[in-house]
Structures are given as C-alpha cells and as structure tokens.
C-alpha cells in the first residue's frame, strides 16, 4: 500500500470539453461557447467538474491491473468516488495526474480497494483530488 504510479498528462481539448458537456446534458454556455467563457473571464471553455474522470482515467488503469495491488478486475464493481476541486480546468490546460493505492479494507465477502488521484495543472495548481473505491467480491 502507498504505491504511487507514474503520473499521466492529459491535454484538455476544447472539443473534448464540449463533447463531455453534451454527453452529460450540460447546457451552461461556459462549457460550450468560447465567447461566453471569455466574457466570464476564462481563457477558453470551462470543463464541467466531473470531467475529472476523463483526465484521471489513464492514471488509474495501471493501478487497477498492477499485480502488487492484487485487485481481481473480473470481480470488481465501482464502489464510490469523491472529489475535492481547486481552480477550474479550461480547454488548453495540461493536467498531470498521479494515482496512489492508499489501502485495502476487508468486509465479509468483500475487499475494498482505495486509490487517491492528485491532479495539477501546468501552473502546478492542484485542480482536483479524487478518492476512488472499488469493491471486489471474494471467491466462493
């Protein structure tokens, strides 16, 4: 436990932000319209908060399949996720995320694997901290 995985950098693209916003039904013009975002003082369109899943995903995958972690992916279900956000993420940002395996808890018939992601932008500002819990059913 406490294993930290190599950081992954994600370049936030304007069209990816728009696609995500459309996919989740977001209608706020800050997420869709460059001029509206700039009028509000942003460099470009603003990523919806849960866009964090997009820029964190590639940092989590190696942890889920790492033999040292010991998570049986075939028996895994998503348990929970929590986020604490910092400055807004906007198109043009480069977000670097590292993932740490922070623990395993035992419950009858289950193992709960916890991971923490820490994401910073190109200016070194922490834009998001995520806590991810995955549940694995024991065999039997």
Residue 54 pLDDT exceeds 80: yes
63 Cβ neighbours under 8 A, 6+ residues apart: 3, 5, 69, 99, 101, 115
Residue 107 pLDDT exceeds 80: yes
Task: Report pTM.
Answer: 0.93
Mean pLDDT of all residues belonging to the chain: 96
The domain locations on the chain are 8-12+48-137
In the structure, what pLDDT confidence band is assigned to residue 71 with cuts at 50, 70 and 90? very high
- Please provide the CATH number assigned to the domain covering 8-12+48-137: 3.10.129.10
50 Cβ neighbours under 8 A, 6+ residues apart: 24, 83
């Amino acid at each position: 436990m406490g294993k930290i995985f190599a950081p992954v950098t994600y370049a936030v693209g304007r069209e990816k932000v728009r696609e995500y916003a459309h996919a989740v039904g977001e209608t706020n013009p800050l997420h869709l319209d460059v001029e509206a975002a700039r009028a509000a003082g942003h460099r470009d369109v603003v990523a919806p908060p849960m866009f964090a899943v997009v820029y964190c995903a590639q940092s989590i995958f190696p942890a889920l399949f790492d033999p040292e972690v010991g998570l049986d992916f075939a028996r895994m279900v998503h348990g929970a996720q929590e986020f604490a956000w910092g400055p807004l993420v906007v198109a043009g940002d480069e977000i670097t995320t590292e993932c740490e395996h922070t623990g395993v808890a035992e419950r009858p018939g289950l193992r709960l694997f916890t991971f923490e992601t820490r994401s910073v932008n190109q200016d070194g500002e922490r834009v998001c901290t995520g806590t991810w819990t995955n549940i694995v059913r024991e065999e039997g």
